[in-house]
Amino acid sequence: MDTIPLDYPTLRLIWWLLLGILLIGFAVMDGFDLGVATLLPAVARSDEERRIVLNVIGPVWEGNQVWLILGGGAVFAAWPPLYAVSFSGFYLAMYLILVALILRPVGFKFRSKVPDARWRSAWDWALFVSGLVPALVFGVAMGNVLLGVPFHFDEILRPHYSGGFFALLTPFALLCGLVSVTLLVAHGAGMLAIKTDGDISARARRLGGWSAVVAAALFVVGGLWLATGINGYALQVAVDPAGPSNPLNKVVVSGPGLWMANYARWPALWLLPALSVAGLLTSSACLRVGRSGLAFLGSALAITCVILTVGFTTFPFLLPSSVQPGSSLTVWDASSSHMTLFVMLVATAIFLPLILLYTAWVFRVLRGKVGADHLGKSKNPNAY
């Protein structure tokens, strides 16, 4: 391994940061798609208004969803035990997300195939579900990461999950789900306010402003609940950052308040939850006064800092085990090999900038408002 320019602990830490970047990329980019779809029944009253809303996200949602594929691929290649536990333990939840996300392209393609009000209304509600359900389930999943997941490894490192789908729906996890929904609704409202005018923009700004305030309040409640009433996890004995990926070679303790240990160790981390709340309140205020661009940036900042808050709160844990804490997965014992992480890093350094450049080019080409006159430019009768 001497030929690899970066040591194993550094590569593990880089890939932990990259996983966070990919999650942030998905939440910021595809998050406004989910938020717009969730807002569809509330901000659009006529068929023309619904078509305008759909044309805000119709040209970009597929590109934005690339971030989800990148995140899933990174988990699979960089953190195989995490992939094995989460994708099998959360199987029904993942299936629910998959079904909801499948509704989105089907809804876009089939909605305008038949000029019937009931047909189009059914697909509009399907698109609403395709936005609401993933936003809720992703938040619930994040809540369960903080609570700990009921899994363990046997002596030959086979993962065993002992929970069920409905066991994931605890009050704290559902609170996290509501934070996710309200946060993404505010983010989607910011995009609608940027891309539309008139009644649609006004409704989006009003609903987004309230949603951002609710998200901030729920986030604060969740933080207080986490600090005072939720068991956290801590390493009793330090793990060798350069050691082999064996999650059973450590001792983990669980108890109230342990998730706050990193904040005592690094007080600057308090800036992350503070910026989350500040971003949401800024987004709300800017939506109310018509500063749509700043509102969108505020909600994007909030999303970024919420994800970073969870990541740094749980570090070095990736997925704690609630039934056998010693089986918990950490940054230092759940990664692929040294060589695999390096090769993946080289590939990421090449292709991630290309994705960013292409995304920036697409949004530059599609800049400007979407209105009723935009709908008339299409010669395709089945267009959005």
For residue 369, give the nearest of 232, 152, 221, 194 by alpha carbon.
194
- Within-domain flag for 238: no
- Within-domain flag for 219: yes
Domain span at residue 188? Answer: 8-153+161-230+247-375
**CA of 24: how far to CAs of 241, 250, 258, in Å?**
25, 30, 25
- Within-domain flag for 275: yes
- Within-domain flag for 121: yes
The 3-state DSSP class for residue 7 equals coil
The 3-state DSSP class for residue 319 equals strand
Q: At a CB cut-off of 8 Å and minimum separation 6, what does 42 contact? A: 203, 207
How many residues in total does the chain contain?
A: 384
d(CA 299, CA 272): 14
pLDDT of residue 376: 61
Give the single-character DSSP code of 379.
Answer: -
- Which stretches of the chain drop beneath a pLDDT of 50? 381-382
pLDDT of residue 140: 95
- Within-domain flag for 218: yes
Q: What are phi and psi of 235, to 5 degrees?
A: -75, 125
Contact 97, 131 (CB under 8 A): no
Contact 273, 223 (CB under 8 A): yes
Determine the angle formed by the axes of helices 198-229 and 292-314, rounding to 10 degrees: 20
Determine the angle formed by the axes of helices 8-43 and 171-195, rounding to 10 degrees: 70
Number of independent structural domains in the chain: 1
- Within-domain flag for 297: yes
Give the single-character DSSP code of 165.
Answer: T
Beta-ladder partners of 152 = 160
* Helix and strand element counts for the chain (H, E): 14, 6
For residue 180, give the nearest of 21, 28, 16 by alpha carbon.
28
pLDDT of residue 382: 47
Q: Interior CA angle at 218 toward 60 and 195, to 5°?
A: 25
DSSP per-residue string spanning 89-136:
HTHHHHHHHHHHHHHHHHHHHHGGGS--HHHHHHHHHHHHHHHHHHHH
